Amino acid sequence: MVLGLANPQIGTKMKEVKREGIEVVIAVDVSNSMLAEDIRPNRLERAKSAIKRLIDDLKQDKISIVLFAGDSFLQLPLTTDYSAAKLMVSTMSTDLIEKQGTAIGSAIELGMKSFSEDEEVNKVMIIITDGENHEDDALSAARDAVEKGVIIHTIGMGSVDGGPIPNIVNGQSKGYFTDNDGKTVVSKLNANMLKELATIGGGNFVRASGGDFNMGDLIDDISKMDKTEFEAKVFTDFEDRFQYVFFFALFVLVLEMIISDRKNKTFTLKKIVGEDND
């Protein structure tokens, strides 16, 4: 009975799964400026929380993650494995890209390569950054993406007043970054550029500052997009076998009752015979 309650699973069964959704590439800024604490606990940690909320609302959509600073790289190819996506989000840090900067245009270009070649599937790119673009022409890259049917949303991390950038060495804060004149560098949200990016991309601009920020409109727009059946696969799953263990346990219990009853009768008969002999 204990084994049955453990629900043993043996063998496999076949199940057909059909998915309908869109493709979503999330490009995340992991430059040092994302460590600024003008929003608590810092911009990057708030970005992680926002991404996890997005993942929870994506349902069956495919997701890919691109990280960028001075360079960009693909952290997670397109997948529907949301557990893996959340795990990747948890590992994001400013140490993952050595070259510093904020090359948004490079992230857009890599994000475009991350999409599938299926022209029937709707595609969305969500750029999460403080908007301090110093490396390339992000607006030109956004126009190229829009021409290929991609919608671009932006989420601005930080405040207009900005904040100093902590200098983290081996996990410990060593003050703040300074410029060549010894003055503390203050990183500010470039909201105008991110608004322009979203306008070009036909998407929403969400500003994250202070308390919890509202991504409702962005999520609604994504959920309302036409879904395409991009995957129909057959996979195997373990089949429950607890019923066989319970049947065996029931058989043993019944057998035990029968044997126990016969033993009691035999013992009683022997006892009576023994008393008669006495």
pLDDT at 254: 83
| Pairing assessment for the beta strands 23-29 and 62-68 based on DSSP bridges | parallel
Give the pLDDT band (50/70/90) at residue 266: low
Q: Which residues of 57-88 are buried (b: 16+ CB within 10 A; e: fewer)?
A: ebeebbbbbbbbbebbeebbebebebeebeeb
Of the candidates 153, 192, 145, 135, which has an alpha carbon nearest to the alpha carbon of residue 28? 153
Nearest to 149 by CA among 126, 129, 178, 122: 122
User: Once rounded to an integer, what is the mean pLDDT over residues 270-276?
Assistant: 57
Residue 273: predicted pLDDT: 56
Task: Please determine, for residue 163, whether its predicted confidence score (pLDDT) is greater than 70.
Answer: yes
Say which residue the tokens 């493709």 belong to: 23
Q: Please report where in the chains the tokens 């319970």 appear, as a residue.
A: 246
Q: How far does Cα 144 stand from its chain's mean position?
A: 27
pLDDT reading at 142 higher than 70: yes
**DSSP, residue by residue, the chain:** -HHHHT--EEEEEEEEEEEEE-EEEEEEE-SGGGG--SSSS-HHHHHHHHHHHHHHH-TT-EEEEEEESSSEEEEEEEES-HHHHHHHHHT--TTS-SS-S--HHHHHHHHHHHS-S-TTS-EEEEEEE-----SS-HHHHHHHHHHTTEEEEEEEES-SS-EE-EEEETTEEEEE-B-TTSPBPEE---HHHHHHHHHHHEEEEEEE-SS----HHHHHHHHTSPPEEEEEEEEEEEEE-HHHHHHHHHHHHHHHHHHHHHHHHHHHHHHHHHHHH-
Pair 87, 79: CB distance under 8 Å = no
pLDDT for residue 232:
55
Interval 168-217: pLDDT, tens: 887 777 889 998 888 999 999 999 999 999 999 999 999 986 656 788 88
- For β-strands 150-157 and 202-208, DSSP reports them as parallel
- Rounded-to-integer distance, Cα 103 and Cα 19, Å: 34
pLDDT of res. 247? 82
pLDDT of residue 15: 65
127-133 mean pLDDT: 88
Per-residue pLDDT band for 113 (boundaries 50, 70, 90) equals very high
| Per-residue confidence (pLDDT) for residue 184, from 0 to 100 | 93
What is the CATH T-level fold of the domain 23-224, as seen in this structure? Rossmann fold (3.40.50)
Averaged pLDDT for residues 132-146: 85
Sign, CA dihedral 131-134-140-142, equals negative
pLDDT, tens only, 218-247: 999 999 999 998 765 555 666 676 777 778
Band (265; pLDDT cuts 50, 70, 90): low
Torsional sign, CA 33, 34, 35, 40? positive
Single-letter amino acid code for the residue at 8: P
pLDDT tens digits, 32-61: 999 999 998 999 999 999 999 999 998 889
CA atoms within 13 A on the CB side of 211: 1
Mean pLDDT across the chain: 86
Q: Which residues contact 232 (CB under 8 A, 6 or more apart)?
A: 16, 17, 18, 19
Q: What is the pLDDT of residue 276?
A: 54
